[in-house]
Structure 1
Amino acid sequence: MSRRAICTRCLRPASACICQWIVAIRPEVELIILQHPLEQHHAKGSARLLHLSLADSQMHIAEKFEIECLRSILFATEKTTLLLYPERSEGQNGVAESPPFDARCLASPDQLRLIVLDGTWRKSRKMLYQNPLLQSLPRLALNDMPSSQYRIRKAHRPDQLSTLEASCQALMLLENNTEKYQPLLAAFDGFIRQQQSLYEIPG
């Protein structure tokens, strides 16, 4: 039996390749995606498209990272490292309160590193719980966000964004640039339509 051809760039079956939606953008803020292993091969996931679109971004896959490995990811340089996550959210019992976010760091976006957890809310909470180093980071919380266009995966609330949407919104905030990431958000809409067509998901 022959194996399905796999795109070596997006790592999806050739028939479901998403490379047409990649938009080359160079962020000022360094983006690092920590992906839950169960998201790695999820057909509807948005993190791979995000990673391929943003120059010099990183993606690391694990639920619980070795401490020294995670330390080397988070603190590789002298940049200020922020975690994209609500300041407090349901289900965070046993999670240390995050240090305060110093808004003065917004003056130099090229000196910022943004950590994004890719997974469902339940998975991301578990990643936060199992990796105390993440709990030590100041958090960037997104408030008053537009409704998600991520209509191919279930969300509990309209303002719960996909990894790609949340990251774009955070980068627009940190870089004070609302236009830079619009092409990627527009391409994301095309990605969603593609998934709806491939998997017969209603709009």
Structure 2
Amino acid sequence: MSRPQCSRCLRPTTHCLCALIPSLDSRTRVLLLQHASEVNHALNTARLAALGLTNAQLVVGEVFDDLPILLNPPGYQARLLFPAEDAQPLQAYAPGDQPVLLVVPDGTWRKARKLLHLNPLLMALPRVTLSAGAVSRYRLRKAPGPGALSTVEAIVQALQVLEAPTSFEPLLKPFEALIDGQIAAMGQEVFQRNHGDGQFG
């Protein structure tokens, strides 16, 4: 028998995060393309990001037929937040700059690459990247490499750069509560045994 679930944050109603989710405006529009396998993941950070930003959209799937429309909202320049040798570092908006449509694939690295492969329009987008050396607060997964962040953390860092000095830290409050809740559920001893080696993802 499944537990009652909040229809908004998709968490069990006893662990609903909605009270912690902010409502933040941003000049940047965020388009989250979530691999279908992530939807029911207990740590669905893309959904938290989409709920906390008024100028964000979450689309779930594998092949996105309406991508031409999604990638071309009037007045925005689309950029893909994904590593590549030719990816440009994000920079703060200068006066008169056209706002960015930040396209963020959500899934494991393998699933995210698959999304790009299956949607050639994504492959064709100019890529942007975050500055090196960011440390994730995601203490329940080992990072696949240095600077690997959860989806919500990557979005927060990107917006902090683009829209400095505006702070988007409140987006991380439900994420941190989610992590704390997962650790409490597994027990501190199990957490330390499995994740207490400092290699957090």
Short-chain TM bin:
0.7 to 0.9
Instruction: Name the counterpart of 1:93.
Output: none
Alignment map for 1:15-164 (pairs within 5 Å):
15-66=14-65, 69-88=66-85, 106-107=93-94, 108=96, 111-164=99-152
Deviation at 1:154, TM superposition (A): 2.9
Q: Is the 8 A contact 1:26 1:55 kept in 2?
A: yes
Shift in alpha-carbon separation, 1:6–1:187, aligned structure 2, 3 A: closer
* Alpha-carbon distance, 1:189 to partner: 2.0
* Residues 1:186 and 1:164: Cα distance change in structure 2 (over 3 Å): same
Greater mean deviation of Cα atoms: 46-55 or 5-14: 5-14
Instruction: Give the TM-score normalised by the residue count of structure 1.
Output: 0.83
- Whether 2:181 is the aligned partner of 1:194: answer yes
Query: What do you get for the CA RMSD once the two structures are aligned?
Result: 2.4
Does the Cα contact within 8 Å between 1:148 and 1:165 map onto a contact in 2? yes
User: 1: distance between equivalents of 2:26 and 2:68?
Assistant: 23
Change (3 A) 1:101 1:144: closer
Are the equivalent residues in 2 in contact too, given 1:81–1:113 (CA < 8 A)?
Answer: yes
- 1:21: how far off? 2.6
Separation of aligned partners in 1, 2:77 and 2:179: 33
Kept after mapping to 2: 8 A contact 1:31/1:113 = yes
Q: 3-state SS of the aligned residue for 1:86?
A: coil
**1:185 aligned to 172, 175, 180, which one?**
172
Post-superposition CA distance 1:80-116 (Å, at most 9, x none)? 011111123xxxxxxxxx7x75989932566221111
TM-score, normalised to structure 2, is 0.83
What are the superposed Cα offsets for residues 4-29 of structure 1, whole Å, 9 maximum, x if unpaired?
A: 31212112221232223312211110
Which amino acid counterpart does residue 144 of structure 1 have in structure 2?
A
Count of aligned pairs between the two proteins: 189
Q: Report how far residue 63 of structure 1 moved.
A: 1.4
Equivalent residues of 1:30, 1:110 under 8 A apart:
no
Q: Where does residue 95 of structure 1 map in the other structure?
A: none
Give the Cα separation in 1 of the matches to 2:11 and 2:97: 33
Gap runs ≥5 in structure 1: 89-97
CA distance in 2, matches of 1:154, 1:18: 24
User: Which residue identity lines up with residue 86 of structure 1 in the other structure?
Assistant: P
Classify 1:144/1:58 alpha carbon distance in 2 versus 1 (closer, same or farther; 3 Å).
same
Letter in 1 for 2:180: R
